[in-house]
Amino acid sequence: MIDRLTMQDPRHQYPAPPFSRQPQSPPGLASRMEPVPDHGEESYGGFGRLTGRKALITGGDSGIGRAVAIAYAREGADVAINYLPPEGEDAQDVVSLIEAAGTNGFALPGDVTDEAFCQILVEDAVKKLGGLDILVINAGRQQTRPSIAAVSSEDFDRTLKTNLYALHWLAQAAVPHLPPGAAIITTASIQAFEPSAHLLDYATTKAGIVAYSKALAEQLIERGIRVNTVAPGPFWTPLQPSGGQTQEKVENFGSNSAFGRPGQPVELAPVYVLLASQEGSYITGEVFGVTGGKGVT
């Protein structure tokens, strides 16, 4: 395994820009990125924090979701991942990594912009996992547009359905299955607090995720269920080269962070583990910023 736990200068722990231009069609594949992101395949070691737990992760084939799936499996959880059918190559890699950790992995392809599918997805996960006590709502759509005139109604609708509607549909379907002690974790972004001009629809949804998660946390703590959100900054995932940024921005992605580089997905995984585990028993309604020094306010 790559050693992530030995003390070292975090500025130089992972690759820094400039990167090559590397356009992909959305949703993009991690395996085609250069450098290939570190999701923890060789660098995350677990400590049994989630032994016996049952998790469903959307967007679990690549990026943040892939890192969370690997970490959860190595912490002892059975994991079902959802992904779009074109991402099947990456998804099968993740399932193999889950099973190699000695837990059960399940691939559940489908589009979360469809309400009926979201209900089916939760039911399938419950059946395959034998229950559900961790829900990570992570799948996201991000497409850069140069001006308000270029954001079509189709753009706006698909981004809201992927990032916000699906959040509601999945949480609504999952809550009846979640026991006391369960956790829901959503993925927002620094864009909720420092929106970029070229990401109008995406930033809007990320602010909505923060508000929805805080409100849901107030509701569900009465059932003993915790809800929290993670707000990443610049992380090296397929969202970026597959239309989430211009290729000019991909070249220098993460250079304006305090570290001078983007984060790697594995660097987010421990936060998702904490929020899912009993070690996070007094944490709900919170926003955890992992922004490379920019903070969230």
Rounded Cα gap, residues 278 and 158, in angstroms = 35
Rounded Cα gap, residues 240 and 199, in angstroms = 12
Give yes or no: 165 in active site.
Answer: no
Q: Do 81 and 92 form a contact (C-beta atoms < 8 A)?
A: no
Catalytic option among 202, 212, 272, 282: 202
Q: Residue 68, by phi and psi: left (phi above 0), alpha (psi -120 to 50) or beta?
A: alpha
Per-residue CA distances from 8 to 40, 118, 293 (Å): 17, 42, 17
Q: Do 64 and 268 form a contact (C-beta atoms < 8 A)?
A: yes
Q: Do 137 and 184 form a contact (C-beta atoms < 8 A)?
A: yes
Taking Cα atoms as reference points, which of 265, 266, 279, 271 lies closest to residue 234? Answer: 265
Q: Do 17 and 261 form a contact (C-beta atoms < 8 A)?
A: yes
Rounded Cα gap, residues 142 and 202, in angstroms = 6
- Give the orientation angle of helix 166-174 with respect to helix 115-129, to 10 degrees: 40
Rounded Cα gap, residues 231 and 207, in angstroms = 10
Please give the positions annotated as active site.
Answer: 202
